[in-house]
Amino acid sequence: MDLDAYVTRARTGPCFICAYLGGHPDYQHETIYEDDAHVAFLDRWPTVPGKVLVAPKAHIEHVARDLDQAAFSSLMLVVHRVALAVEEVFRPERTYLLSLGSQQGNAHVHWHIAGLPPGVPYEGQQFHALMTENGVLAPTSELSADTANKLRTSIATGRDRPCGPRLEWDGL
């Protein structure tokens, strides 16, 4: 990942979520959930295995003032549902949920769902684990497809606790 190019694209390029939803070939992601109002997809540059982004399909820029209570609640129910799938598939030590972005880049409201793998030393947790400056993973397209399939299956079955083996992303 070229961090400088990413920052330039985030600040001057099209909205990455709107471009992804519009089918722009430079903004493709593995979709893991979609309904009429929301979408969830694998992060292109994950810092932890199976990192997912959840967003409203409408271009919303302020999570508190641009969403009424019903729309906010609906979005958060999707975040919760997807986070449960991440927990089932990856069995993280902790699941981080953050809404990031700003008017200066990546303005479209989106939530990051990042499962912290077990055993990460404390110094490598929290914001450190989420910052691309500290490194990104490079899953193969096959691993991303497998991850997306496992997350989609978990979401579809509605399971809310771990079952089966934990998905490993060793060697990245």
Residue matched to tokens 């990245």? 172
- Is position 164 within any domain? no
Domain CATH number, residue 101 = 3.30.428.10
Query: Any idea how long the chain is?
Result: 172
Question: What pLDDT shows up at residue 172?
Answer: 47
- pLDDT for 79 equals 97
46 found inside a domain: yes
pLDDT of residue 163: 52
User: Cα(162)–Cα(55) distance, rounded to whole angstroms?
Assistant: 25
How many domains does the chain divide into? 1
Domain that holds residue 81: 3-157
Residue 28 falls inside a structural domain: yes
Q: Establish if 169 belongs to a structural domain.
A: no
Q: Classify residue 165: in a domain, yes or no.
A: no
CA distance 113 to 46: 10
Q: How far apart are CA 58 and CA 160, in angstroms?
A: 28
170 lies in a domain? no
Q: What is the pLDDT of residue 167?
A: 61
Mean pLDDT by 10 residues, the chain (172 residues): 73 82 88 96 93 95 90 96 96 94 81 95 92 89 94 85 57 49
Q: Tell whether 123 is covered by a domain.
A: yes
Instruction: Determine, yes or no, domain membership for 34.
Output: yes
Give the per-residue pLDDT at 15. 85
